[in-house]
Amino acid sequence: MKHVNKFIFCLLGIVVVTACSKEEKIDSSFTENVSIYGSLESFSPLSSSRTQVGDIVGTDGALQMEWSVGDQVGVYGEQTHNARFVSNNTEPSAQTTFAGAVVSGDIPQYAYYPYDENTIDVHQILVAIPSTQIYSDVYSISKYDVKATDQIVNMGAGNYQLKMRQMLSLIRFEFALTDIQGLGVDEVLQQVKIETNVPVTGNYSYDLTDLNKGLVKGGSDVSQSLTLVLANQPSLSEKVIAYAVVAPGEHAGKSWNCTFLTDKHQVSFSTTALCDLEAGKYYVMPLNATILENNDAVIEEAPAPEETANCYMINQSGEHSFLANVIGNGPKGIIPDAGFHTESAYISPKSAKLLWQDVDGFVDVASVRLGTDNRCYYTAKSNVGNAVIAVYSGEDCTGDILWSWHIWGVGDEPISDDVYTSSAGYQYTVMDRPLGAHAKESMICTLYQWGRKDPFSNQTTVYGEAGAQDVSIWPVISGVEMGTLTASVLNPDKFITNSKTGTDGDWMQVPNNSLWGDDKEIPYIWPDVYSHPDCKPGWVSQKTIYDPSPVGYRVASPYVWTGFVNASDGSNQSVSPTSRLDQIHYVKYENNGWYFQKDETDMSGVYYPTTGMRSTVDGEMMYYGKYAYYFASSPHRTRTLSTGLWCGEYVPVSPKQADDNTISSMELCQRGNGYAIRCVRE
**Rounded distance, CA 19 to CA 170, Å?**
31
Residue 576 phi, psi (nearest 5) = -95, 135
DSSP notation for 542-569: ---TT---BTTEEEPPGGGGGGGB-STT
Q: Is the pLDDT of residue 46 over 50?
A: no
Amino acid letter at 246? V
Indicate whether 354 pLDDT > 50.
yes
pLDDT score at 423: 83
Q: Are 514 and 335 in contact (CB under 8 A)?
A: yes
Q: What average pLDDT does this structure show over 662-667?
A: 86
Residue 596 and residue 450 in contact, taking contact as beta carbons nearer than 8 Å: no
Q: List pLDDT tens digits, range 98-109.
A: 888 888 888 899
* Beta strand 201-206 pairing with 216-223: antiparallel
Q: What is the mean pLDDT of residues 289-317?
A: 93
Are 642 and 655 spatial neighbours (Cβ–Cβ below 8 Å)? no
Task: Spell out the residues 6+ positions from residue 280 whose beta carbon is closer than 8 angstroms to its own.
Answer: 41, 43, 44, 165, 166, 167, 169
- Position 530 scores a pLDDT of 61
* Residue 162: per-residue pLDDT: 82
CA atoms within 13 A on the CB side of 108: 41
533 pLDDT more than 70: no
Query: DSSP assignment, residue 639?
Result: T
Residue 531 pLDDT class (50, 70, 90 cuts): low
| Residue 21 pLDDT class (50, 70, 90 cuts) | very low
Q: Using the predicted structure, report yes or no on whether residue 29 has a pLDDT greater than 60.
A: no
By percentage, how much of the chain surpasses pLDDT 70?
A: 85
Tell me the C-alpha distance between 88 and 69, whole Å.
7
Q: What pLDDT does residue 161 have?
A: 84
Residues 195-205 have a mean pLDDT of: 92
Would the pLDDT of 30 be above 60?
no
DSSP type of residue 302: P
Q: Which residue has the higher pLDDT, 286 or 434?
A: 434
Query: What is the distance between the alpha carbons of residues 129 and 133, in angstroms, rounded to a whole number?
Result: 9
Query: Which DSSP category does 520 fall into?
Result: S
Q: What is the pLDDT of residue 540?
A: 80
Q: What tens digit of pLDDT does each residue of 358-386 get?
A: 999 999 999 999 988 889 999 999 999 99
Above 60 in pLDDT, residue 474? yes
**Across 29-43, 72-86, 151-165, least confident range:** 29-43
Residue-wise pLDDT for 632-656, tens only, equals 998 876 667 888 999 998 988 755 5
Overall average pLDDT of the 550-569 stretch:
90
CB 464 within 8 A of CB 447: no
Q: In the predicted model, is pLDDT for residue 444 greater than 70?
A: yes
As a whole number of angstroms, the distance between CA 46 and CA 223 comes to 24
* pLDDT confidence of residue 49: 24
Q: What's the pTM?
A: 0.81
pLDDT tens for each residue of 595-636 = 999 999 999 999 999 999 999 999 999 999 999 999 999 887
CB 437 within 8 A of CB 445: yes
Task: Please provide the average confidence, as pLDDT, over all residues in the chain.
Answer: 85
pLDDT at 15 over 60: no
Residue 414 CA to residue 316 CA, distance in Å, equals 10
Whole-Å CA distances, 153 to 38, 87, 110, 163, 480: 11, 18, 10, 9, 48
- pLDDT of residue 534 exceeding 70: no
Which pLDDT belongs to residue 107?
A: 87
